[in-house]
Amino acid sequence: MLNLGVLASGGGTNLQALIDRSEAGTLAAKVVVVISNNSTAGALERARRHAIPWYHLSRATCGDEASLDAAMCETMQRHGVDLVILAGYMRPVGPGLLHAYPNRVLNIHPALLPKFGGKGMYGIHVHEAVLAAGEKTTGVTVHLVNSEYDRGRILAQRTAPVMPGDTPESLQKRVLAIEHEIYADVINRIAAGEIRL
C-alpha cells in the first residue's frame, strides 16, 4: 500500500478519482494528505468530505519560496507520504521536495507530451492549442517531475480521438475521463513493481 500526498490547485476531479478507487479497494494506495496553494480549491473540500488531512500552503501562508518548500516537505514526511501526486497543481515544485522525493513526484498532463507542454500549456489552453493545430489525436501523459517543466521521464500515455465539431470543453471532458483511469493505473503498476521509478 502506497501513501499518496496529493497537490492540487483546482476542482480536484483527479484527486476524487483516486479517493474513490482507494475506497472501492481498486487502488493499491491511499491518499493520506492533500495540500493546495489555493484556500478555495475544490480539492480541499473533497479532502474534508473524506476526512483526509488537508493543508493550505502557499507563499502567503509560509512567507517565501524556501519556507513554502520546507513546509511542503515537512508535511509530506510527517504523513508518511511515499509518492507525491500532482493533480492540477498550478505551481512549480520546490527543489527541497524534489530532493526529498527523488523520482517520486508524478504529474498528469492533458496532452501527449512533448507536444502541447511547457509554459502556458495548462487547463483549457492545452485543448485550445490541440484544436488550433488541427490534431486528429490527443491524449494524456503521466510523467515524473523534475526541475524542467513538463520534461520528466514519461511513465504512461493514452490517446483520445479529436472529433469533428469538438470544442475545447468537449475535448477536455473526453480527456479528463481518461486522466481519471490512467493515473490510478500508473499508481497500481508502481505499487506492483511493473513500473520502476
Minimum CB separation from ligand GRF for residue 9, in Å? 7
The one catalytic residue among 56, 79, 99, 109:
109
Largest alpha-carbon pair distance within the chain?
49
Residue 81 or 85: which CB sits closer to ligand GRF? 85
Residue 31 or 87: which CB sits closer to ligand GRF? 87
8 A C-beta contact, residue 33 and residue 55:
yes
Minimum CB separation from ligand GRF for residue 106, in Å? 11
Residue nearest to ligand GRF (CB): 88
Q: Is 180 a catalytic residue?
A: no
Binding site for ligand GRF (CB under 6 A): 8, 10-14, 87-88, 108-110, 123, 176, 179
Residue 14 or 138: which CB sits closer to ligand GRF? 14
Active site residues: 109
